Structure 1
Amino acid sequence: MLLRTLLLTIFALATGPVLADEQLELGKKVFLEQAQPSCTVCHTLNDAGSAGEIGPNLDQLKPSAEQVSNAVKSGVGIMPAFGDSLSERQISAVAKYIESVTRK
């Protein structure tokens, strides 16, 4: 049992960063391309090279992944909801991407 736990821990440590990197890559792709209209139209985010001025500057706002996820799913203010056009995986990825790059 101890050996199994140890092996699972080693596997998780070895693959965790790879999976996290893949999720952040997907999140950036959602931000840049997959969300329609693109997040870049409205939002400034240095890591994505966007300078939108309609919505909040995400670098300044530094939202949590939960805040981003809620806004993307349901919309907020003039921001449309993307809950029907993006998958849960895409929403989670873009939320974690934004949180990650704005809270460095």
Structure 2
Amino acid sequence: MSLRTLLLTIFALATGPVLADEQLELGKKVFLEQAQPSCTVCHTLNDAGSAGEIGPNLDQLKPSAEQVSNAVKSGVGIMPAFGDSLSEQQISAVAKYIESVTRK
């Protein structure tokens, strides 16, 4: 293993949880504030303190990050598409956040 590879591996291991935590924080912020309309209007998600009754209860549905990402990008049923109003980073963060908090 080269020194460069070793250093990159150590850096990834050292910063992994921090980056994951930051991504989950961003995901929660997207869920609560950045998506317009806010996800809380329609969805129940205990971790976010939301009790929407229009869309599915995410705590019960326990969607995968891929399912959330697809739904957020393209919309589902009456849920609007957010693919043009949220960045890929925001969509990925909210998807991972929802998957993480519903599968504890």
- 2: CA distance, partners of 1:35 / 1:100: 19
- 1: CA distance, partners of 2:24 / 2:15: 14
Cα drift, residue 101 of structure 1: 0.4
Stretch deviating more after TM superposition (7-16 or 65-74): 7-16
Deviations 1:57-89 (A, max 9, x none): 000000000000000000001100001110111
Pairwise CA RMSD: 0.9
Quote the residue 1:25 is aligned against: 25
Q: Scaled by the length of structure 2, what TM-score is found?
A: 0.96
- 2: CA distance, partners of 1:38 / 1:71: 14
Structure 2: gaps of 5 or more residues? none
Deviations 1:22-45 (A, max 9, x none): 100000000000000000000000
Cα drift, residue 10 of structure 1: 1.0
Q: Scaled by the length of structure 1, what TM-score is found?
A: 0.96
Structure 1: gaps of 5 or more residues? none
- 2: CA distance, partners of 1:2 / 1:83: 40
- 2: CA distance, partners of 1:87 / 1:6: 32
Stretch deviating more after TM superposition (77-86 or 5-14): 5-14
Seq. identity, %: 98
Stretch deviating more after TM superposition (71-80 or 4-13): 4-13
Map of 1:1-104 to 2, 5 A cutoff? 1-104=1-104
Cα drift, residue 103 of structure 1: 0.6
* 3-state SS in 2 of match to 1:55: coil
